[in-house]
Amino acid sequence: MNKDDTSQGWLSWICNLIVIFFVYICTFITFPITGWFVLKTVPNYERIVTFRLGRVGPPKGPGIVLVLPLIDQWQKVDLRTRAFNIPPCQVITLDGGVLSVGADIQFRIWNPVMSVLSVQDLNLSTRMTAHKALTYSLAKKTVREIQTQRVKLGEYLGMDINEMTQPWGLEVDRVELTLGSVLKAPGEGTTAPLIMPPSVPGLEGLTGPIQQLAMHFLGHSSISQPQQVACMDPSSSFCNLYCRLGDEEDEVWTLPTTGFPALAAEILDQHRVSGLEAAQGSVCRCW
């Protein structure tokens, strides 16, 4: 297998030399005419990357460069610093804020051969990479950090982009963040989760604070042993209340589960007549 590859490589190399030799001869024989086509002038800020019979060669320039017809394909690469801007985009920060941030980026090509071989559309690929790095890096910062450390974050962003574009022969020289408006302040619009009370027989007609009061009494009835307490108002149905007296600072009121629908209905009637104060007064008289 290795011998076949070696022999094929030698044959390909010999064929390439023969073809190149004949092209050179034809070019020099017809030089007055072909000179207008094979000689290229390359300025100091450009380089020419040539592919001779499909194989890439070292960059040529500046000055006059010979490009053979039929077997050479060439491409110019501009080495000057170029710039582009990332339009403002919405970034969700670490503290939950939403900020409009853009960037101005300057870059240059330091390796013409890698820039041609590694990526097809260098400008589009650089823009997409910079946009992705911008949103990813700023998502780890808070709104205050972005506003106060804009220059420092731009330097860090340039380093992140360079790590991704270095195999392309490209180098980012400068990144300047452009801050827009704060679309959403940190912590704005956050509400506590809504807790729905469980469905308990006898509480379907109760709403608002009366239902919460009844649920408070009923919830403690399952964990405490009731003890009957004398009531100052025998005519009130609150005399059926049971309570467990613990410490003076931690007093827990409880209700028996039996007969609770009638008691809940009475609390509802009192709430309709005189509001929550009447129900709370009945509880206090029982206590």
DSSP letters along 52-103, please? ETTEE---B-SEEEE--TTTEEEEEEE-S-EEEEEEEEEEE-TTS-EEEEEE
* C-alpha distances in Å from residue 272, one per residue of 50, 81, 206, 235, 286: 93, 79, 11, 19, 20
93-107 b/e (C-beta count within 10 Å ≥ 16 → b): beeebbbebbbebeb
Q: Encode pLDDT of 1-29 as tens digits.
A: 455 555 567 888 888 899 999 999 998 89
Please list the alpha-helical segments (H only) found in 139-224.
143-148, 150-165, 209-221
Task: Give me the CATH code for the 82-184 domain, please.
Answer: 3.30.479.30
Mean of pLDDT over the chain: 75
CB 27 within 8 A of CB 34: yes
Model confidence at 112: pLDDT above 90: yes
Per-residue model confidence (pLDDT) at position 37: 86
- The Cβ of residue 130 has, within 10 Å, a number of other Cβ atoms equal to 24
What single-letter amino acid sits at 99?
A: L
Q: What is the pLDDT of residue 284?
A: 44
| Domain definitions of the chain by residue range | 2-78, 82-184, 209-286
